[in-house]
Amino acid sequence: MPKEPERIKEEKLHEKLKSGGKVETLEEMTEEYRENLTHLMMMQADSELAGAFGYVPWIMKSPDIKETLQVSQIVKDEVRHARVMYRLLEGMGLDVEEYYKKHNFNLRVKDEDIGTQRVSDDKRVNIFYYPIETWYDFIMFNFCMDRGAGHQLEDALDCSYKPWCDVMDGIFKEEGMHMAHGDQWTEKLAKDDKTHDDLQKALDKWYPRTMNIFGRAGSPRNETYRKLGLKKRGNDEVRQSFAADVKDKCAKFGLKVPDWKPEISKMTEEPFIPG
């Protein structure tokens, strides 16, 4: 059977999305849809896996046996999330085994601030290039980044690609559990005079890095994602939702949210969607 002309595909896809329908097969996709969907799912998959690898050392460095188990579970969840996303990508034609062999998801950089640069050719969001060096770092990464991922994942819960929607509910719930772990430890450390200042320093480090993950306001790429039903909100709308959430939590815990201003020349157009 001859391939359907791209123009006809575009018309059919537009009508389906306009009526609230969801894409379920490769045959329904235009090249534009497939390219943007693949890009977003790769960002999630690579970020999930790189995040898990960053947490691994804290299985051994946890303060007690209870936390050893908790961190182990978080790592297991993140690796499973990555595998779920890579299986979807296999259905899009990605050779996952070959891709995995070619990339070092444990790569970390020591620079104090790499802005929004990407230092390798995997698709992880660049916050996953920073090393997690102390327990305070681990907790603040947990508190900030898992919360940022949660705000992004809200859009994926009801995106236009049904197979992605089908897996996101479980991932979203587990990310909520990770966020709760960070909240519990943040409250505990913030309210202890002996640990408050060190935790505040960690917040000062990780909050700006997390604010950078959402992409720049008015991004043309984000407009395309929304046109295709792959996202529902603008980058800055999601960022402000995250910032309000953090502000509310910090007010309860006695922490000060650091100032953040976008560096327009550095801001990426690629928002993060995962966890």
pLDDT at 110: 75
Q: What is the CATH number of the domain that holds 173?
A: 1.20.1260.10
Strand partners, 23: 161
Angle at 185 between CA 153 and CA 61, to 5 degrees: 100
Domain region containing 241: 25-108+123-253
Please spell the DSSP secondary structure of 212-243, one letter per residue.
GGG--TT-HHHHHHHHTTS--S-HHHHHHHHH
Number of domains, the chain: 1
121 or 275, which is more confident: 121
Contact 165, 158 (CB under 8 A): yes
pTM of the model: 0.89
Dist CA 175 CA 173 (whole Å): 5
* Percentage of the residues of the chain whose pLDDT score is greater than 90: 77
Structure-token match 């499973």, residue found: 80
128-186: per-residue pLDDT in tens? 999 999 999 999 999 999 999 999 889 999 999 999 999 999 999 999 999 999 999 99
| Residue 132: count of CB within 10 angstroms of its CB | 23
Residue 273 pLDDT greater than 70, yes or no: no
Across 98-102, 127-131, 247-251, the highest mean pLDDT is recorded for: 247-251
What whole-number distance in Å separates Cα of residue 218 and Cα of residue 208? 19
pLDDT > 70? residue 274: no
| Cβ within 8 Å of residue 273, ≥6 positions away | 40, 43, 44, 149, 152, 153, 155, 156
pLDDT of 1 higher than 70: no
Q: What is the pLDDT of residue 225?
A: 96
Residue 207 CA: distances (Å) to CA of 84, 141, 225: 28, 8, 26
- Weakest mean pLDDT among 17-21, 44-48, 213-217: 213-217
Q: Which residues contact 242 (CB under 8 A, 6 or more apart)?
A: 147, 148, 151, 210, 211, 214
Tokens standing for 212?
A: 């950078």
- What pLDDT is stored for residue 269 in this prediction? 43
**274 lies in a domain?**
no
* CA dist., res. 247 & res. 253, Å (int): 10
What would the mean pLDDT of 226-240 be, rounded to a whole number? 95
Distance CA(2)–CA(9), nearest Å, equals 13
Q: Does residue 39 lie within any of the structural domains? A: yes
Cβ neighbour number for residue 19 with a 10 Å cutoff: 7
Cβ contact 208:260 at 8 Å = yes
The answer to whether position 260 is within a domain reads no
pLDDT score at 234: 93
Packing angle of the helix pair 162-190, 235-253 (nearest 10 deg): 30
What are the tokens at 138?
């681990």
